[in-house]
Structure 1
Amino acid sequence: MTVLLAAESGTGSAVWRRFRRNSGAMIGLVLLVLLVLLAVLGPLLVGSPSTQDLAARLAPPSAAHLLGTDQLGRDVLTRVLSGARISLGIGVSVMLASLLVGSAAGLVAGLLGGWWDEVIMRVTDMFLAFPGLILAMAISAALGPSLTNVMIAVALVSWPTYARLIRAQVLALREREFVEAARALGSSQSRVAFRHLLPNSLAPLLVQGSFDVGNAILTAAGLGFIGFGAQPPTPEWGAMVSETRNYIAQAPWASSAPALAILMTVLAFNLLGDGLRDVFDPRREG
């Protein structure tokens, strides 16, 4: 047991050293930590994002309003900070829902094979046959415009990626010696799946999950921009850009601030995903 713990500790240290040497990954991690802190602490330090001051509508950045105000006199910084919690919540929730559904489907397809594999993969192919944003728009339109329905729509679009990824990992691992040994010792299919196959598939899941949080935020912002997502006065970043797009020449700060927040958040998750992919690449020497 002592040797095993030492080996695991050494592996964890090697992974961290590789990650720390990747400048892009560290930038992404720092940006992500800052965004999480802003999302958690920001709304506690500012006022209500719905407070209006029509006398100060479209006011430029100043000491009173660091990022200016929008067309209703609402403080843009307050709304951006409040929107950070919403957008990060959307991204993480969608990723976790997609991960759970897709992983379950991929495990069943890869482990059981046969007609289970055929049915699950054909359903997966049906979802993948449609452009993701178009399918999410159709689902959101059918369910009705709301923040919850946007998360459902984006999750329904995202799960097939995890299903195919887990299935490929299971097919590669199920004939390995340690899996055969577990079966020979009388382990059930569920124990083989959750004790041996799924833990050895975590690395690609972490990489895909990092990318998908950013993709979910971007897709939700796009749906919010065209009116299928969060409805006013919810300070969701995509909806904020949509509300202020008609004033971009008069007050560019009102739309550029939430747009920049989307850019930085998606960039942080993409840099983190790139770094994790490099760290877990078995061809990369550490």
Structure 2
Amino acid sequence: MTTTLERVPKRSENVSLRRLRRNSGAMLGFVLLLFLLVAALIGPLFLGSPGAQDLAVRLSPPSAAHWLGTDQLGRDVLTRVLNGARISLSLGVGVMLASLVSGSLIGLLAGLLGGWWDEVLMRVTDVFLAFPSLILAMAISAALGPSLTNVMIAVALVSWPTYARLIRAQVLALREREFVEAARALGSSQGRVALRHLLPNSLAPLLVQGSFDVGSAILTAAGLGFIGFGAQPPTPEWGAMVSETRNYISQAPWASSAPAVAILLTVLAFNLIGDGLRDVFDPRGR
């Protein structure tokens, strides 16, 4: 009997992996993400400093010496884009993890404890959801001051309510199930029930939401950088790079289009992965 019960999750995991491999969109997303990761990790090792200036070649078009051209200060655009990939990917993953952990903890407490805990925590969540996320992130960034660290804090503060709502809904659906009642009958504490039974069975929607939110965090951070609330020059952050070169778009379109395309491809990669994971985990889509 034990052997049969142990085989079911393994068989289910194998089926899910096969479905994911058959999803062409998800595979394209993984390929794009792998390419970006390799370029971000290895590329800067073979290139110069992203802040190195050479005014003699300012606004030069793409060439053998500068594959993506140079900007208004003669800095190599490819070098800055690849260094910016490290910043943007680290920021997106960091914001997603911070939002996931904090939002899941709040949603778990609200769904598990219920009563006034649920009311207070969900009303606080509603306050954050009442504001447009970009406007709220701008306000928080303006209050904290323009910097990359403050951007991460601001975007994380506007992203956690989604996870809180999601995990609360999962907990409310699961807490009366037979396996949870059996765990309580065996003397398991609330914390053990939450960590061993409720949270592991709620991971699928969290993974899907997390995949979408990495791209969303990168896009929001780039938007804040573009309007001056995010990373400040000469930091090679993609949004700040587009902002710096926007006045030269007719003269040197490559300087602003390269970081813009990098943002597009990164957000697209995470959205494709999120779509693939959603198709795998959603039983209605099967």
Shorter chain as denominator, the TM-score bin is over 0.9
Equivalent in the alignment of 1:143: 144
Equivalent in the alignment of 2:116: 115
Q: Deviations over 1:60-115 (max 9, x none)?
A: 00000000000000000000000000000010000000001000000000000000
Farther-moved stretch of structure 1 (38-47 vs 262-271) = 38-47
* TM-score, normalised with respect to structure 2: 0.98
Matched, 1:58 2:59: yes
Equivalent in the alignment of 2:16: 15
1:3 shift after superposition? 4.0
Distance 1:175 1:10 in 2: 26
RMSD: 0.9
* TM-score, normalised with respect to structure 1: 0.98
Distance 1:215 1:284 in 2: 24
Equivalent in the alignment of 2:158: 157
Farther-moved stretch of structure 1 (75-84 vs 36-45) = 36-45
Distance 2:220 2:86 in 1: 16
1:2 shift after superposition? 4.5
Distance 2:285 2:220 in 1: 32
Matched, 1:86 2:87: yes
Which residue identity does 1:107 align to in structure 2? L
Equivalent in the alignment of 2:227: 226
Corresponding residue pairs, total:
285
Distance 2:54 2:33 in 1: 32
Moved over 3 A (4+): 1-6
Equivalent in the alignment of 1:97: 98
Equivalent in the alignment of 1:206: 207
Matched, 1:67 2:91: no
Distance 1:239 1:232 in 2: 7
Distance 2:10 2:119 in 1: 40
Q: Deviations over 1:210-248 (max 9, x none)?
A: 000000000000000000000111000000000000000
Matched, 1:183 2:199: no
Distance 1:107 1:9 in 2: 27
1:283 shift after superposition? 2.1
Secondary structure of the residue aligned to 1:69 is: coil
Distance 1:256 1:196 in 2: 48
Which residue identity does 2:9 align to in structure 1? E
Distance 2:6 2:74 in 1: 58
Q: Deviations over 1:184-222 (max 9, x none)?
A: 000000000000000000000000000000000000000
Distance 1:114 1:45 in 2: 58
Q: Deviations over 1:122-165 (max 9, x none)?
A: 00000000000000000000000000000000000000000000
Distance 1:190 1:41 in 2: 43
Distance 1:3 1:71 in 2: 66
Distance 1:220 1:284 in 2: 32
Which residue identity does 1:172 align to in structure 2? A
User: Structure 2: which 5+ residue stretches go unaligned?
Assistant: none
Distance 1:192 1:5 in 2: 20
Secondary structure of the residue aligned to 1:265 is: helix
1:284 shift after superposition? 3.5
Secondary structure of the residue aligned to 2:60 is: coil
Equivalent in the alignment of 2:196: 195
Which residue identity does 2:21 align to in structure 1? R
1:6 shift after superposition? 3.2
Distance 2:35 2:9 in 1: 29
Which residue identity does 1:32 align to in structure 2? L
Farther-moved stretch of structure 1 (274-283 vs 145-154) = 274-283
Distance 1:284 1:134 in 2: 34
Equivalent in the alignment of 2:255: 254
